[in-house]
Structure 1
């Protein structure tokens, strides 16, 4: 046998061994049995738990709706044929489902097939063709894609002014707004925060985000949130007041364990529960306060308005897009930042500025 020299350090030569001289050439190859293709219930459960909770809920709902439709239409749901998926998308279009919902459905059904062992099935070409036509028709009807309207710092201040900072719920909602904005947080990230995850330091707040949408390996990320320019919108001051109110109202000391939720649900008496807030509460708070503050088009605001608004405001201040993407935990290949940059530059770098 002639060793093949490698570029590795001495002692790491790669040796090519002919098949006739391989030490396992006489090994008996056992035939596959059913056990080779079976995954235990425990492993299935672990696979399910490895998917983020909100994604798991979405996939479960989509899979259930698809199975119910297939049952009514006398079609097989798993594995589904290309024709079945195409017909299902046509059914969703007939119901005037939003293009984003249809796109999520197609992706989820492909993922569910892959998890079940049917990788690459069903083919989505004609389903996506239908989706593109649906998008064009909605755009022609004036019902194109509607994104969450970004919140400006002035909007945040107006929303905070509608709150009662003497109550637990008022301070909590103020923290949702100010910390959510300063962190460019997803609603899932806010709801997941523990008391130990937010630490006040000399320059502001250090926030530990244990896992997020773009942190697939759950390695965790730390972000700094500086103080605000006005006391009502300062996340540092709001966090300090909120923590004091939490300590004042909690009856059982153990409920302030560092690993318990930071943002708490409230009882009907206005005291904090031990349980954290559901993600949808962030949406509810933003929507309700947009109405209370009499913001224009209040129905266009959602939890994402905090994240989108903070990114847009930063870009308008001249912060480089790469730094904004890093702070907001966007994927390096995400086109979202470019969309926000175009919004921020719509008039600042307009080709017609000063021409007329």
Structure 2
């Protein structure tokens, strides 16, 4: 069965052709003879279509040398790529039918490579079969090669991320419609899910409604807990737009005046930390320095043990991708890198809070793609 993402806009041919050439060059620079790209975001990045399959092999073969790239795809799946300008991209379409050996087909195109790189998320059944078919070649991951391209967004990608950020901001602006006492997290989540599509996304990729003690679990989903007056509620939501790029934004709300006396002071610490981290973003700063900018403020206020995750993650065709804003990552930031800045404070059994914006590194600083208020929003007071 095909597993393709519908209704995605395809980048222009010139952009895709440039990406393929950069991927070829990056493979050569990494002493890799070819990239084998499975369906997913890497394939979407290179040819404009994410594709999808399960037990049947689909792979884009990108040689480091002069040979033409080839999309090896089951014949029954080929119509799904009709909208991809393969001829204009110089990509040969190679089909196979059940009973053929697609792994041998790929091996035949590669010749005798010394090293091939496979997609990070390629299914193990394909990875192992390709390893057997391309005997003698070292098999590595394609992620370290392609992330050098995907981390640096071009103007069109940034425009898509900006559009996604504006769309999710419109959902947060409507939170007072749904977040009221007496409703369950699941009921609120269903309304948010519908609104995410209404406001310009293809789908809701995730909806976190963490009320009261559930807000202290950063990756809480939704539950049947009934939201009570005085609750602090963490709302973390996002999804893809037609261009394939994702939104991801978190705001923390109070349903009426907070019942706990320490909310205002604790939240003020979090707000300072998030603002400091955003302000620290600039070309040349390192990923770990951005993490430290937030973490130091939270730790000095006595909440270091309650900040239990990294400060951010890259975003683009995937919700989570490089660069990761975390201690130990000395990667210097460059213009075009896009990532979240989302420190949190989580008090187990009581309540939690998180503030998250997507930001883009500019030539001389930073642009925030989310612009909803950072203050604790009190609803229904």
On whether the aligned pair clears a TM of 0.5, the verdict is: no
Relative to the length of structure 1, the TM-score reads 0.30
Structure with the higher helix share, 1 or 2: 1
Q: Rg: which structure is higher?
A: 1
